Amino acid sequence: MEQYDSGWRPWPVVWSAVIVGALSALAVGLVIGLIGFAVGAHEVSKAATWKNVRLITLIFNIGGAFFAFVVGGWVAARIAGFRRAEPAVLHGAIAWLVTLPILMLLAATGTLASYGGWLGSLAGFHATPTAVSSATDMAAAMRNTALSNLTGVLVGLMGSVIGGWTASGEPMTLRYYRRRGQVPLEETRTRRIA
């Protein structure tokens, strides 16, 4: 039987780079969360409506989740040493995947509150008598908590992918991607592709 070679090669996963990337994302997330608390940008309790959330809170929470994972993806891809975008992005995404169970463990122990609202609320909504006055308010607050958690996690995934791609050094354009095989990699780092 004739063996068919499609040219596809598996990408190796450098686990030490992934673990360091995940730890970097956790460290940067903690620093941004603590800065947010220091400047008063994080809400103390979950509000039942989006109207009660201030703009500075949104900026710190979304930006914190995004940039923490940009750093994590960048560190993972740089340590792995990949010069192509695909394996670098893969390592950034794997660093994000490794970080999620760690975040869930921190949420279960109650120590994730220092990360701020978007990722800090992974432990769930905790009702207080002043925050919730009825069952309808409780349902809305739980929905908003779930939406903020989903947003924080997905923004983190986007950040880790962008961080990995940035670490590869390849331009972030689809036009470049289509021409990539026509130009040697060394030339792409020294001049712009037309």
pLDDT tens column, 110-146: 777 666 655 655 655 555 555 556 667 777 767 777 7
Helix axes 85-109, 15-38, angle to 10 degrees: 50
Residue 93 located in a structural domain: yes
Residue 7 located in a structural domain: no
Residue 6 located in a structural domain: no
Least confident of 23-27, 104-108, 109-113: 109-113
Residue 126 located in a structural domain: yes
* Residue 40, helix vs strand vs coil: coil
Region for residue 10 given its phi and psi (left: phi exceeds 0; alpha: psi -120 to 50; beta: otherwise): beta
* Residue 128, helix vs strand vs coil: coil
Residue 56 located in a structural domain: yes
Q: For residue 91, how far is the Cα from the chain centroid?
A: 12
pLDDT tens column, 45-89: 444 455 555 666 677 778 888 999 999 999 999 999 988 888 999
- Residue 2 pLDDT: 53
* Residue 71, helix vs strand vs coil: helix
Residue 10 located in a structural domain: no
Contact 90, 161 (CB under 8 A): no
The single-letter code of the amino acid at 129 is P
Q: How many domains does the chain have?
A: 1
When pLDDT is averaged across residues 31-51 and rounded to a whole number, the result is: 64
Residue 168 located in a structural domain: yes
Residue 4 located in a structural domain: no
What's the rounded Cα separation, in Å, for the pair 23 and 17? 10
Residue numbers of the domain that contains 96: 15-190
